[in-house]
Homo-oligomer: A and B are copies of this chain.
Amino acid sequence: MAKERKILVAVDEGEESTYALSWCLKNVVTENSKDTLLLLYVKPPHVVYTALDGTGYLFSQDIIATMDKYRNEVAETVIEKAEKLCKDLQDVKVETRVEIGDPRDVICEVAEKMGVDMVVLGSHGYGLIKRAFLGSVSNHCAQNSKCPVLIVKRPKNSAATSTS
């Protein structure tokens, strides 16, 4: 039965994403499988704020640099946390990837380009990006991804498992 599969897990800074990854590790990836996990974090692009009169609103270089630094730190933290969760399954290969853009498109694009067998993501999210993009990432991926999509919802009464 064991065969090589590539499973893309979209991770973000939210607890639901952590739960989705944990659930996937427990229920889909098994210890003796030859699965490769591809942990993908999508950073939000620069958001251009438009003033009401349409003239646009420009940030100074300082502010942009600070925002960039923060975005990179968040990306690192998310990926590190996700990798830590995967360490218990020693036979599973883990790859990580950080991309920039609208997570709805990026997740589907990476899934197709890498020929993954399955996409796993939380039903809510996408943390930081949630503020920048309207519309549900999971809905979009379920409709547009060419491979099976597993949407994991964190039970309301569950503590944030495996986050420590």
Query: 1/0 contact trace for A1-38 toward B, CB 8 Å?
Result: 10001000000000000001001000110110000000
Q: Are B151 and A146 in contact (CB under 8 A)?
A: no
Cβ of A117 under 8 Å from chain B:
yes
- Give this chain's copy count: 2
Q: A139-B139, A139-B142, A142-B139 are in contact. Are A27 and B149 (CB under 8 A)?
A: no
Q: In the complex the two chains form, is B30's CB within 8 Å of A1's CB?
A: yes
Interface size on A, residues (CB 8 A): 27
Residue of B nearest to A23 (CB): B148
Q: CA of A148 to CA of B28 in the docked complex: distance in angstroms?
A: 12
A155 adjacent to chain B (CB < 8 Å): yes
